[in-house]
Amino acid sequence: MARTTVAVLFGGRSSEHSISSATAGGVLGAIDRERFDVIPVGITRDGVFVLEQDDPSRFALDAQRLPEVVDNGTRVIWPLPGEGRALRVRRADGTESSLGDVDVVLPILHGVHGEDGTIQGFFDTLEIPYAGGGVVDSAMAMDKDITKVVLSAAGIPVSPGFTVRARRWAHDEAGVRAEAAELGYPVFVKPARAGSSVGVSKAHDPDELAGAMRTALAEDDKVLLETAIVGREIEVAVLEGRNGGEPRVSLPGEIVLTTREFYDFEGKYLGGDGAEVVCPADLTDEQTERIRDVGARVFEALGSRGLARVDVFLTEAGDVLVNEPNTMPGFTPISMYPKCWIASGLSYADLITELIDLGLSRP
């Protein structure tokens, strides 16, 4: 069997740069080397494409020192549209050499300039196949406000809330406060277009609202205020169906909180106490199938490709409310997405292969 050349793309200009880099460490360590030749391409925080070391340990997830892509002086040069798929690198001394043809790109980028349709449009323009979501589904899912509009139109229940632009907060703070009070405290305040819980706060009362808004607006000029749902946090991993088939949905996992108020950045990635990822979740067969069905419906409603993680709340009354989908979810070996597939019988390495094959199979 001919080997497939995969450009693994990671890092990026978003606030989730380090998580993307940590994901790269997991992927580089697990990808099937008998099937795939790997070209590791890092994107610095300034947006520079560099040729990285093919060394998983360099990007290990370490709470004391999060990994990142640094400018090493190389420059990865993508082909112009219509000029094939040959990738080149210019070294720090000015010399250039070929890296060979790229068969497919695996863009394990989180946040803006990676998960929002921009990099997807870049590779569509170059006519280079890539894994994961496309332009439109990525853009919609990245914007939690737009996501809620689309899912509500499809008849899929979402967590109650409202959207605030920076200009409204600046000129109508009293109106926002009145609407928040009507929603009822505590409320979650989150950037509309960020992930990994970056910029998210829980405002317990009106006194905490200003600080929470300040934190969220530092990430995005559009912010969501949402009801703090009393219930269980359940997540399912979704894969695009093969050959136009229905989406495949994993067994559900659960975020179990003990001393932590919500599943924040520290709890997700820095080994903070008070939160545990459990998969499969302790659910009845009926609850499991209902949540998996919601996951598939969300994937279909957004026209998703490749993969997504769908996060829901299971309320005390038994209702399933969608919190949000993620088109490039956390993909480190300790993340919920691969854990759910492992619990469903698909290994981490096989999951990576499946994503690459799905990218290659698209016309």
> How many Cα atoms are found within 13 Å in the side-chain-facing hemisphere of 317?
4
Please determine, for residue 111, whether its predicted confidence score (pLDDT) is greater than 50: yes
Decide if 140-157+230-345 and 161-227 have a common fold.
no
**From CA 38, how far away is CA 31, in angstroms rounded?**
9
Alpha helices in 115-244 (DSSP H): 118-126, 135-142, 144-153, 166-171, 173-183, 206-217
Q: Tell me the DSSP string of 82-122.
A: TS-SEEEEE-TTS-EEEEEE-SEEEE---STTTSSSHHHHH
- Tens-digit pLDDT profile for residues 262-302: 555 554 554 555 678 899 999 999 999 999 999 999 999 99
Distance of alpha carbon 247 from the chain centroid: 18
| Segment among 160-169, 194-203, 216-225, 327-336 with least mean pLDDT | 194-203
Kindly state the tokens that stand for 360. Answer: 């290659």
Please determine, for residue 261, whether its predicted confidence score (pLDDT) is greater than 90: no
Architecture of domain 140-157+230-345: 2-Layer Sandwich (3.30)
Are the CB atoms for 88 and 94 separated by under 8 Å? no
Residue 142 sits at φ, ψ, to 5 deg, of -65, -30
Confidence of residue 306 (pLDDT cuts 50, 70, 90): very high
User: In terms of Cα–Cα distance, which of 255, 135, 264, 120 is closest to 195?
Assistant: 264
User: In terms of Cα–Cα distance, which of 68, 88, 63, 65 is closest to 24?
Assistant: 68
- Tens-digit pLDDT profile for residues 97-106: 999 999 999 9
Map out the domains of the chain as residue ranges: 4-130, 140-157+230-345, 161-227
CATH of domain 4-130: 3.40.50.20
CATH number for domain 161-227, candidates 3.30.70.20, 3.40.50.2000, 3.30.1490.20, 3.40.50.300: 3.30.1490.20
Q: What percent of the chain has pLDDT over 90?
A: 82
Confidence of residue 152 (pLDDT cuts 50, 70, 90): very high
